[in-house]
A = this chain, B = another copy of it.
Amino acid sequence: MIHNTAIISNKASIGNNVTIGAYTSINDYVEIGDNTVIENYCEIGYATPLAENKKLVIGANSHIRSHSVFYQGSIFGDNLVTGHRVTIREKIKAGSNLQIGTLCDFQGDCVIGDFVRTHSNVHIGKESKIGNYVFIFPYVVLTNDPHPPSDTLLGVTIEDYAVIATMSVILPGVIIHEHALVGAHSLVKSDVPPKMVVAGNPAKVICETAKIKLSNLNESAYPWPKHFHRGYPESIIAQWEKEFGC
């Protein structure tokens, strides 16, 4: 299951039933959980002096697609899935079931909850705090420097179930509260209240998320866990049914 062109450090710890692709390198202090797949041309455990802890932990049952780079010094829970050519830096603590889209660039020093999904080409700046069940769509950038360039790092906070649509920029220190929705191509300069929709440049409050109807039904599209269940375990869906009424 380990390709003969893969370069594996003898200081790495590889679980049972792990697959490692062609031309991939697994460096020192990497711990890979059972049943995980690392595809071709990946660099796992890229060395950096910025890591506080040299260990990189990739949970069990994970799948890292080709051409990806993971730095040392981060921890990912089980069931991590990535697209191709992601760049994931040091000092990230992420929960389980994280999905990272193709070309995403996680700058490190951030905390990510469970069941977070980022689509392609999302840029997560340092000091971001991301809750659980958050959705971030393509080309979104979470910034952190209030007067660039500077040494001030003021990360963005995204609370549980919040959704940020394509090509939006969130300015430093902004809090997107739970169940909020940021419309596509928005510039968000101030906190977004829970369950509200904001959009525009600069973004303004448009309405409550509950006012947005499903395109094919006369029912509210939010909270989204009422209707969107693809890829979640039965136990989560059952919990959502109680909480949101599916």
Contacts and interface: CB of A to CB of B under 8 A. Distances in A.
Interface of A: 7, 22-23, 25, 40-41, 43, 46, 66-67, 69, 83-85, 87, 102-103, 105, 107, 117, 120-121, 123, 135, 137-139, 141, 143, 146-152, 154, 163, 165-167, 169, 171, 184-185, 187, 200-201, 212-216, 221-222, 224, 227-228, 230
Contact of A103 (B105, B154, B212, B227): B105
B169 A166 contact: yes
A148 B169 contact: no
A10 B24 CA distance: 22
A116 B101 CA distance: 25
Contacts of A148: 135, 137, 163, 165, 224
A166 B141 CA distance: 8
A146 to B, nearest CB: 5
Nearest to A172: B215
A66 to B, nearest CB: 6
A25 B148 CA distance: 36
A164 B241 CA distance: 42
Contact of A154 (B184, B215, B230): B215
Contact of A221 (B121, B150, B214, B228): B150
22 contacts: A41-B67, A66-B69, A102-B105, A105-B120, A105-B121, A121-B121, A123-B139, A135-B149, A139-B139, A139-B141, A139-B167, A143-B165, A143-B184, A147-B213, A147-B222, A148-B163, A148-B165, A149-B224, A152-B215, A154-B215, A166-B169, A184-B187
